Amino acid sequence: MLKSIAGVLVGVAVLGAAGCSDKPHEYGRQRPPVGELDERDRGLQSKDVVAASDQMAQDLLADRELNASRDRWMMVVDHVENKTSNHGFDMDIFLERLRVNLARHGKGRVQLVENKAKLRDLQARELDSERDDQGQGAAATPRPRSQPDYALYARVMELPNRGTSYYLCEFTATDLKSGHQVWTNAYEVKVAR
C-alpha cells in the first residue's frame, strides 16, 4: 500500500514537473504585456505610450478648472507634432490612447467631438444622398457639427546623445475661442539608443 502511494506521488511529481516551466508559453512570448519594456527594443516603447496616456488622462480629469466647470468641455483631439529624429514613427498613438482614456473616464466632464476632416469623410461615405426635383443626387444635409471649445494636441521632442535619448512628450489643451492654453503637462523618459 505504501509503495502504491509513493508510486502515485512520484507520478504526480513527474507530470507536474513536465507541465510546469519557468519559460513563458508560446503565447506569452508572442504577446508580451504592453506595460513592460522589451529588452530587444530601443527608444520609445509601448510602456511609454501606456504610462504617458494614463498619466495625462488622470491629470487632465483632475484639473480644477475642468472640474469647476458647470458645462462639459467639448474637446476635439488633434495630432502629435513629431520633432524627433525618427519621423517614420507615428506619434499619434499617444493621443489616440489618451482619447480613449478620456472617453472611458471623462463621462460627464469631457465630450469628445469628431475631428472635422474625419467627420466630413464619414458623412460623405455613409450619409445617403437626397434627390432633388430633377432626379439629380444631392448630398444629404447633415446636422451642424458640435463646435468644440477645446483642442487637445501634443508635441514629442528628442535630445539624442551617443548612448541614450531623452524624450519630452508635451500635451496641451487650448481654448479655441480665446487661444489660452488651459492645461498642459509632460511625460519625460530617457531611453537607450
Q: Which pTM does this prediction carry?
A: 0.75
Task: Write out the three cell numbers for 66.
Answer: 475642468
Q: Look at residue 14 in the predicted model and tell me its pLDDT.
A: 53
User: How far is Cα of residue 126 from the mean position of the Cα atoms in its chain?
Assistant: 26
Fold of 44-115+146-193: Rossmann fold (3.40.50)
Mean pLDDT, residues 147-166 taken together? 94
Which residues on neighbouring strands pair with residue 158, listed in sequence order?
167
CA dist., res. 78 & res. 151, Å (int): 6
CA dist., res. 27 & res. 100, Å (int): 26
Task: Write out the three cell numbers for 115.
Answer: 475631428
Reported as type and span, the H/E element at residue 96 is: helix 92-105
What are the boundaries of each domain within the chain?
44-115+146-193
Is residue 140 predicted with pLDDT exceeding 50?
yes
Is residue 24 predicted with pLDDT exceeding 70?
no
The 3-state DSSP class for residue 59 equals: helix
Task: Write out the three cell numbers for 136.
Answer: 439629380
Instruction: Let me know if 165 is exposed, middle or buried by CB neighbors in 10 A (0-12, 13-18, 19+).
Output: buried
Q: Look at residue 11 in the predicted model and tell me its pLDDT.
A: 57
